[in-house]
Amino acid sequence: MLFQNKIQYSYEKFKEFSKKYRDELKYHTDDIKKITDFLKTDNVTLIYGAKSPTINNAVVLRDYILDFIKKYIIFLTLHKVL
């Protein structure tokens, strides 16, 4: 039961961290645009130092970049740029 409580605690902390990190990323749109431009021709490797492959900053950054790309595609589609 202790292990289960630790997982729940870690998940709750990660949700809190994710929200704060995403809020911070909003101020770095130029950097996110550079990454998305680079992704047009190459792969990008996100590195993390956490023990968990699913609870770390790279996961949040990856999801943020994917959301950014989706919003950009929707914007272009709505404005008939594509």
pLDDT in tens, 28-64: 999 999 999 999 999 999 999 988 899 999 999 999 9
Confidence of residue 1 (pLDDT cuts 50, 70, 90): very low
Taking only the tens place, the pLDDT of each residue in 60-82 is 999 999 999 999 888 888 887 65
Q: According to the model, what pLDDT value does residue 8 have?
A: 64
Inter-CA distances, 81 with 12, 28, 36, 50, 53, Å: 40, 24, 18, 40, 37
**In the predicted structure, residue 2 carries a pLDDT above the cut 60:** no
